[in-house]
Structure 1
Amino acid sequence: MNRRSLLAPFAASALLLALCGTASAADSPALKTCMDGANTTAAMVNCNATETKVQDERLNKAYKTALAAQEGKRKQQLQDVQRLWIKYRDANCVFAGSATGGTIDQVNGSGCLLDMTRTRAQELENLVGP
């Protein structure tokens, strides 16, 4: 087996992490603490899932605030965009979570979901300002 074929799975993982981002524990002390103590794939996925719930609550609050700030056609546009974004996020993270066939896929997929949810919450918060 040549060196190139040995590195292919690692290159695929690195590419996926670059494409969908990685959950930054620096953004959340609770996530950092959880990840520091996570010794298994399941524990890491659980850490990501717990923080995703926090970010999903943030996203929902930001969406309601942003939606209330819109008028007329823009309100419907935001609803449509949000529905499409949810479909895209879910499909993108399923893809990110199936790259290698290994257990790291579970961590990559859950990290993708966390990152995309956190980013979208920030985008919605930015629609209405500080």
Structure 2
Amino acid sequence: MIRTSLAAGAMFLALCGTASAADNAALKKCMDGANTTADMVSCNVKEAKVQDTRLNKAYKTALAAQKGARKQQLQDVQRLWIKYRDANCAFAGSVTGGTIDQVNGTGCVLDMTQTRAQELENLVGP
């Protein structure tokens, strides 16, 4: 029973960790060619760097658009978000004790970073 639950949980996290592949052509192409766990981790890390660059650009733009106390609020929120993302993804990346955890952890960082970049972009519009 416990093994079944762990296996189901690992599969769920694995699917969540790569869920953004459906919406991301570069990630999908990389994952389609990935034959090993290390290859999948590499795909996630590579795309997470792309999304981190996007996030940083969106953050700078959003920060510049804020006035008064909202500027400080955004800085505080972003610092808290980074701590949350890192803790959340460390947790997601330690479920089974197996190599799939690496895929889950890096996929979590990718997904959360991509989502946050979109949120920041939405603060100021196109």
Question: Greater Rg, structure 1 or structure 2?
Answer: 1
Q: Identify unmatched segments of 5+ residues in structure 2.
A: none
The normalised TM-score by structure 2 is 0.93
**Residue 101 of structure 1: aligned partner:** 97
For the residues of structure 1 that align with 2:8 and 2:36, how far apart are their CA atoms?
22
Q: How does 1:107-122 map to 2 (within 5 A)?
A: 107-122=103-118
Alignment length, in residue pairs?
126
RMSD over equivalenced CA pairs, Å: 1.6
Q: Secondary structure at the match of 1:39?
A: coil
Residues 1:47 and 2:51 are matched in the alignment: no
Q: How does 1:4-19 map to 2 (within 5 A)?
A: 4-14=1-11, 16=13
Q: Identify unmatched segments of 5+ residues in structure 1.
A: none
8 Å CA contact 1:23, 1:114 repeated in 2:
no
% identical equivalent positions = 77
The normalised TM-score by structure 1 is 0.90
**Residue 83 of structure 2: aligned partner:** 87
For the residues of structure 1 that align with 2:36 and 2:13, how far apart are their CA atoms?
20
For the residues of structure 1 that align with 2:102 and 2:17, how far apart are their CA atoms?
14
For the residues of structure 1 that align with 2:3 and 2:64, how far apart are their CA atoms?
53
Q: How does 1:25-44 map to 2 (within 5 A)?
A: 25-44=21-40
For the residues of structure 1 that align with 2:90 and 2:18, how far apart are their CA atoms?
15
